[in-house]
Structure 1
Amino acid sequence: MPERTCLGCQLANKEIETNIIYENDRVTCILDIAPLNEGHILILPKKHFHDVDDLDEVTATVIMRTSRFLAKLLKSHFQPEGITILQNNGKFNDLTHYHMHVFPRYESDGFGWLEPIDATNAKGRLKETAAALVALIQPLR
């Protein structure tokens, strides 16, 4: 088997030692080495994908089902005030391998959503944006 150079592939396929929480034939779930809160888990597909729109249907479904399971697991152990599930694409995907974050949240944890510098233009164009996106749905199917 050729040596993998993708860190995400290496982690998902247990070629690098890590803290595995759960795995099945499609994904490996590990503790994040830079956790936002204790229990911060990454879901990594074993096959290489870069972005969410690269995922095949089966892997995408397995990832969502796994995120539900992990949310229940984290709630059971940590009794958090909530769970955050997020994923970054493109240049914001620092691992360059698709991964989903699932982590417990607490009101005082300091993690937050920063508002854009100026969302006024986007807010004023809601109808136009909706129409443009709806028009693209059929061609993309």
Structure 2
Amino acid sequence: MDCLFCAIVAGDIPSTKVYEDELTYAFMDISPASEGHLVVVPKRHSKDILEIGADDLNAVLLTGQRLARRVTEVLGADGVNLLNNRGEHAWQTVFHFHLHVIPRYADKSRDRLQLPWIPEPGDLDQIKATGAKLALG
């Protein structure tokens, strides 16, 4: 398998590790959107959100929460985005499930991330019809 994040977890590619436990590994993103941008990965390879097992997903989310708290307390982040991209058309570039922990700052010299869409009201009938198709149970 030729996976960048598996190689990072294995120590074959250097990273700036900030946290590691039995199931997860967290490191600094080398193309950060903001000061303190981190990536959390499961140690076991899974391609994306549809493939990852529940235990690994839970562990990644808990590590992400822990690091969100840490960037808020230590770096003074004014907010935090947790971001996962699934699939090429959703901007996934490394096909090993990962969660970005992106600190957000009022001071834009520390934060270059911009909202990827302009929120505006949608067609309520279409929203209801799509919601009905997606409803579970």
**TM-score normalised per structure 2:** 0.86
Residue 115 (structure 2) aligns with: 113
Q: What secondary structure sits across from 1:52 in the alignment?
A: coil
- Taking the aligned partners of 2:127 and 2:81, their CA distance within structure 1 comes to 26
Structure 1 residue 49 and structure 2 residue 50: aligned?
no
Residue 65 (structure 1) aligns with: 62
Question: What is the Cα-based RMSD across aligned positions, in Å?
Answer: 2.0
4+ residue segments displaced more than 6 Å: none
**TM-score normalised per structure 1:** 0.84
Q: What secondary structure sits across from 1:48 in the alignment?
A: coil
Deviations 1:26-47 (A, max 9, x none): 1110000111112111001111
The partner residue of 1:26 within 23, 27, 33 is 23
Name structure 2 gaps, 5 residues minimum: none
Larger Rg: 1
Deviates more, 1:87-96 or 1:102-111: 102-111
Structure 1 residue 104 and structure 2 residue 106: aligned?
no
- Taking the aligned partners of 1:49 and 1:12, their CA distance within structure 2 comes to 13
Structure (1 or 2) with the greater helix fraction: 1
Q: Percent identity?
A: 27
Name structure 1 gaps, 5 residues minimum: none
Aligned residues: 132
